[in-house]
């Protein structure tokens, strides 16, 4: 067996974006977006290293040929603009992994990473080392990284156990991408690492804790669109400003907690990146499916803009209840005790249900947080209230909504004060919403409309579910874009 030559000394540090794979609407590789993607990361997010064809990049759903094309395009477009391109070459097949490793060396990648096989799993650290060694052997001059992600692979081998004596077997070994929540195992990796290794952390919401333990950098999917803020976290930590670093970490945790309550997965993550960056990344590849918000997301930017303009026009004289129609959807808002509650629904969704939903939220929010409202200054200070929002939403979109309708008729107060207008007319006129008082719809016609809406409750329940998903996805995107404004 030949002896591997040491890899070039080029330590990987700082933020590394785990890139998404651009696909067309037909599910084919879309190489044309990669140049724009590189520019976006470097110019807008301040991220100068990337980890391609990994979990975020849907590597296991791609063919070997597709992964080669992507790796080549990323290396070519990143040349002279980025510090390092690490290509993940791990596959279920040793031969496929070796083929991709050889290719990465030929196209000028700055390093390769390999995940543990997850169908036929290695059952010990020694078995996994043997697999990694065979891959590294075919590309001996490339820095080699082990990609540790036990929650996905199901391989229950501690990363710290794997690192014991690994450089004796793989001379090109240069570190680990540790995407696990076991900080004790991570700490052991750091404490036993060599000076030229990079121990990179891959759980975005726990980055600060990993930095304290000695992480040399981080690899993550959210760094694609909030990398500029995470760079501030790292800088604050390096300067010893733990307060600022912690504040940014808490904001990340709030965002990710909120996102996870919405069912945050790769599909939604990819859609979010598309919306925030303006890149055309396309849908995920089967068996992953687009999230429902993605299917309704073509008009999200317009709705976001309209919602922002709407809030600017609210004043003390504005009607406390109002419906603003916007084509196939409608904004419903309710103001009580200085707090505005707004929901976006399908236009066909019964207004009585929408306002009853807002009244439920208002009552609970006032009970939990009413006294705190005058004292808050940080956006999304009440993010934990989302749990109640999600729970209440279900009672208005499932089959029980039919039974709810009877109680709504008695609980909904002052229907006469619900104003109806077209949102485009209101926003284009540039007037405050107080002007809508003189435009109130006739109560009789509203009542007829409500009775008609009630008949649609059964047939429209599916639409309501999609609309509700669309509402909270809009809020999620607004949260990312205007987090620090």
Residue 456 dihedral angles phi and psi, to the nearest 5°: -90, 0
Q: Is 388 a catalytic residue?
A: no
- Start-to-end CA distance of the chain, whole Å, equals 59
The Cα–Cα gap between 89 and 132 comes to: 11
The residue from 37, 147, 237, 479 that is catalytic is 147
Is residue 387 within 8 Å of residue 261, measured between CB atoms? Answer: yes
What tokens appear for 273 in the block? 């990146």
177 flagged as catalytic: yes
3-state class percentages of the chain: helix first, strand second, coil last, to nearest 5: 55, 15, 30
**Per-residue burial over 307-336, b = 16 or more CB atoms within 10 Å of its CB, e = otherwise:** beebeebbeeebbebbbbbbeebbbbbbbb
Which residue out of 77, 129, 177, 270 is catalytically annotated?
177
d(CA 154, CA 188): 20
Q: Are 469 and 291 in contact (CB under 8 A)?
A: yes
Distances (CA, A) of 180 to 50, 144, 201, 272, 393: 19, 19, 8, 23, 32
Report angle CA 273, 279, 281 to the nearest 5 degrees.
Answer: 70
Which strands, in side-by-side order, build the sheet including 418-422? Answer: 339-346, 329-336, 321-326, 418-422
Contact 172, 178 (CB under 8 A): no
CA distance 55 to 159: 18
Between strands 14-18 and 321-326, the pairing is unpaired
Angstrom distance (rounded) from CA 385 to CA 391: 10
The DSSP output letter for 291 is -
Whether the CB-CB separation of 78 and 50 falls below 8 Å is answered with yes
- Provide the β-strand partners of residue 199: 176
Sequence-ordered alpha helix ranges (H) in 107-216 = 125-137, 150-153, 159-163, 166-169, 183-191, 207-213
Phi-psi region of 327 (alpha: psi -120 to 50; beta: other; left: phi over 0): left
Residues designated catalytic: 147, 177
């Amino acid at each position: 067996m030949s002896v591997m030559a040491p890899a070039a000394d080029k330590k990987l540090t700082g933020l590394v974006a785990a890139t998404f794979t651009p696909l067309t609407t037909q599910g084919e590789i879309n190489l044309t977006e990669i140049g724009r993607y590189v520019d976006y990361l470097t110019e807008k997010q301040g991220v100068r290293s990337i980890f391609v064809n990994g979990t975020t990049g849907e590597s296991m759903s791609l063919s070997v040929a597709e992964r080669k094309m992507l790796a080549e395009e990323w290396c070519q477009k990143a040349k002279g603009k980025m510090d390092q391109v690490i290509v993940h070459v791990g596959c279920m097949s040793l031969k496929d992994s070796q083929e991709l490793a050889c290719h990465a060396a030929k196209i000028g990648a700055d390093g390769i990473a390999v995940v543990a096989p997850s169908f036929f799993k290695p059952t010990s650290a020694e078995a996994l080392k043997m697999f990694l060694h065979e891959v590294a052997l075919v590309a001996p001059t490339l820095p080699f990284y082990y990609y540790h992600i036990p929650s996905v692979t199901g391989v229950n081998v501690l990363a710290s156990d794997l690192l014991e004596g690994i450089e004796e077997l793989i001379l090109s070994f240069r570190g680990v991408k540790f995407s696990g929540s076991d900080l004790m195992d991570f700490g052991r990796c750091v404490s036993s690492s060599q000076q030229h290794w990079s121990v990179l952390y891959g759980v975005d919401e726990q980055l600060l804790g990993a930095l304290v333990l000695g992480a040399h950098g981080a690899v993550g999917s959210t760094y694609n669109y909030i990398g500029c803020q995470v760079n501030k976290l790292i800088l604050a930590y390096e300067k010893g400003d733990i307060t600022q670093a912690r504040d940014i970490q808490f904001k990340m945790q709030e965002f990710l907690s909120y996102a996870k309550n919405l069912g945050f997965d790769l599909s939604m993550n990819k859609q979010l990146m598309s919306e925030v960056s303006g890149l055309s990344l396309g849908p995920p590849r089967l068996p992953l499916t687009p999230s429902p918000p993605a299917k309704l997301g073509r008009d999200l930017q317009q709705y976001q803009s309209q919602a922002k303009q709407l809030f600017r026009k609210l004043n003390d004289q504005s009607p406390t209840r109002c419906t603003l129609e916007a084509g196939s959807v409608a904004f419903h808002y309710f103001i009580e005790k200085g707090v505005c509650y707004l929901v976006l629904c399908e236009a066909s969704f019964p207004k009585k249900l929408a306002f009853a939903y807002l009244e439920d939220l208002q009552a609970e929010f006032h009970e939990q947080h009413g006294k705190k409202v005058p004292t808050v200054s940080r956006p999304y200070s009440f993010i934990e209230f989302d749990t109640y929002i999600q729970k209440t939403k279900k009672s208005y979109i499932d089959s029980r909504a039919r039974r709810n309708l009877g109680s709504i008729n008695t609980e909904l107060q002052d229907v006469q004060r619900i104003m109806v207008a077209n949102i485009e007319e209101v926003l284009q006129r540039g007037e405050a919403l107080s002007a809508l008082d003189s435009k109130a719809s006739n109560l009789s016609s509203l009542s007829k409309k409500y009775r008609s809406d009630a008949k649609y409750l059964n047939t429209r329940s599916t639409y309501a579910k999609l609309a509700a998903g669309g509402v909270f996805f809009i809020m999620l995107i607004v949260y990312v874009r205007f987090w620090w404004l």
